[in-house]
Amino acid sequence: MIRTNKARALYIHLPFCLKKCNYCAFTSFPGATGEEVFSYLNLLAEELKQREHLLKKPKTIYVGGGTPTYLLPQALEKLGEILASFITEELLEFTFEANPGIINKEKIRVLKEMGVNRISLGAQSFNDAVLRKMGRAHTAIQLIEAYNLLREEGFNNINLDLITGYPGDSRKSFLASLMTAINLKPEHLSLYDLKVEENTRLYEEVLAGKVILPVEDEVAQSWEEAIILLEQNGYERYEIANFAKNQNYSRHNLTYWENQPYLGLGLSAHSKVGFLRFWNPDNLKDYQYMLKTGKFFDFEKLTLEEDAKEEIILKLRLKAGLNLKEFREKYHWDFLEQYGEKVQNFVNLGLMALEGERLFLTRKGSFVANTLLIEFI
């Protein structure tokens, strides 16, 4: 089996935000000073130096957070300098996450100079009341203004993120938000199911009974209608929760779903290179210590079987599905020999389909994907 030992996808985590959203469990520091941002960038530069040997001219770079556009232009320029040697003719996609209300012409100019060619805009909702419940630092108008500004400044590959199933966001209001998003004609839309994570304000409010979560049926119905709406408007559901127009897929995220190597830098970033998975701490003290020692903070070595199972789970999330021939060649493992009976059951139930060597979830199957995929672990 041929395994590449170098990543062609680079993720950078910038953990800074204007304020903490009520549902957010990401590693992010609200209101960091310029000095704190610069010292973090120095740490990133050091980590890149230490891990560079695991990276080959990246095909994709993704800067996420946090709110990467929290950085002031000078800090963005510094990030550009750190990444400069990786921005080559082989770089196909350079995505930067941006938030409305904190993006302006000057920052956009720096992003363009850096080589950023794709923006992922954290919309979450176009309903001001829902945005307030989420604790977002922007309004719907600011969101539309940010989107229009990015277009005016020449970005022709934009993703919008929306959250599904947020308490207080009814099916009707969610679908209205989605329709507003569709009318803006972004190249890509991602729908994220709300997860109520511990150590968030939302979690506390749910526990205290101050916030009631929507019933699952209502969320499922929103999803069904959302998919129809998106498809009617030319969006292809190429991954369970991701939709693209004219094949403007997220190449970087496809790296994850296709079980290809990737290198993640910064607080709480994860990497997988060959059979080695390693991850960074989520606090600065441990991160600094990790860099001082030059070692991984934590890691695990996957067996061939563990890696194969990850490949099954990840690829079945894709419309392209799992190619059984490729899987056989890669892992010397006949998928149907082991799972043939289960697959047949799911096919009979209309949850999976097998076309030649391509095994994939049907639309019905995609609604129960989490439960279904566990059967292959």
Q: Applying CB under 6 A, which residues contact ligand SF4?
A: 17, 20-21, 24, 26, 28, 65-67, 99, 122
Nearer to ligand SF4, 99 or 271 (CB): 99
Q: Considering the complex, what minimum distance in angstroms separates the CB of residue 197 from ligand SF4?
A: 11
Nearer to ligand SF4, 28 or 268 (CB): 28
Q: Considering the complex, what minimum distance in angstroms separates the CB of residue 239 from ligand SF4?
A: 21
Nearer to ligand SF4, 24 or 226 (CB): 24
Nearer to ligand SF4, 242 or 268 (CB): 268
Q: Considering the complex, what minimum distance in angstroms separates the CB of residue 65 from ligand SF4?
A: 5
Q: Considering the complex, what minimum distance in angstroms separates the CB of residue 143 from ligand SF4?
A: 13
Rounded Cα–Cα distance for residues 161 and 119 (Å):
11
Rounded Cα–Cα distance for residues 177 and 162 (Å):
8
Nearer to ligand SF4, 28 or 164 (CB): 28
Q: Considering the complex, what minimum distance in angstroms separates the CB of residue 275 from ligand SF4?
A: 30
Q: Considering the complex, what minimum distance in angstroms separates the CB of residue 350 from ligand SF4?
A: 36
CB 301 within 8 A of CB 276: yes
Unique residue bearing structure tokens 């005016």: 152
Q: Considering the complex, what minimum distance in angstroms separates the CB of residue 30 from ligand SF4?
A: 7
Nearer to ligand SF4, 31 or 34 (CB): 31
Q: Considering the complex, what minimum distance in angstroms separates the CB of residue 100 from ligand SF4?
A: 10
Nearer to ligand SF4, 28 or 222 (CB): 28
Q: What HEC string does the chain produce?
A: CCCCCCEEEEEEEECEECCCCCCCCCCCEECCCHHHHHHHHHHHHHHHHHHHHHEEEEEEEEEEECCHHHCCHHHHHHHHHHHHHHCCCCCCEEEEEECCCCCCHHHHHHHHHHCCCEEEEEEECCCHHHHHHHCCCCCHHHHHHHHHHHHHCCCCCEEEEEEECCCCCCHHHHHHHHHHHHHHCCCEEEEEECCCCCCCHHHHHHHCCCCCCCCHHHHHHHHHHHHHHHHHCCCEEEECCEEECCCCCCHHHHHHHCCCCEEEECCCCEEEECCEEEECCCCHHHHHHHHHHCCCCEEEECCHHHHHHHHHHHHCCECCCEEHHHHHHHHCCCHHHHHHHHHHHHHHCCCEEEECCEEEECHHHHCCHHHHHHCCC
Q: Considering the complex, what minimum distance in angstroms separates the CB of residue 129 from ligand SF4?
A: 17
Nearer to ligand SF4, 28 or 157 (CB): 28
Nearer to ligand SF4, 68 or 261 (CB): 68
Residue among 72, 64, 165, 167 at smallest CA distance from 116: 64
